[in-house]
Amino acid sequence: MAAPRRSTVLVALVGFCLAVAASAQATKSCRVLPSGPVSLLILESGERVQRFAASVSGPAILKRDAQTVIFDDGRVVTANIDSATVFLNELGWGNLDIQIVASFPRAAARPRRVG
């Protein structure tokens, strides 16, 4: 009686493993691609990235960490290029055209010379 139970459990376990593997493969092949080029917005800090992401309504967030947020419409907002690169490659967007915009604080105005 013990042998049939083991084989039933083994068959169920193998079936489960095959289902998980098929699901993982399906997830990899069903990726979201933006309709146009990727827009990369580089900000000076992770705090600004998170504030910007909180102000955006509409597109879904596909990837996020403390330094980078990637929206499903192709916008990438980051303070860390390496983080953005990893996410872009994970999404399969590494070979898409990228438009880059950088936003850094303005330099302080130079004091006027007197005399």
Per-residue model confidence (pLDDT) at position 26: 40
What is the C-alpha to C-alpha distance for residues 46 and 64, in angstroms, rounded to an integer?
11
Phi, psi (rounded to 5 degrees) for 57? -120, 145
Per-residue model confidence (pLDDT) at position 69: 97
Q: Any idea what the Cα angle at residue 38 is, between residues 37 and 40, rounded to 5°?
A: 140
Per-residue model confidence (pLDDT) at position 88: 93
Per-residue model confidence (pLDDT) at position 115: 64
Q: How far is CA 82 from the centre of its chain?
A: 12
Per-residue model confidence (pLDDT) at position 84: 93
- Report helix, strand or coil for 71: strand
Q: How far is CA 80 from the centre of its chain?
A: 12
Per-residue model confidence (pLDDT) at position 41: 93
- Per-run averaged pLDDT (10 residues), the chain, 115 residues: 46 44 42 82 94 92 96 94 93 89 73 75
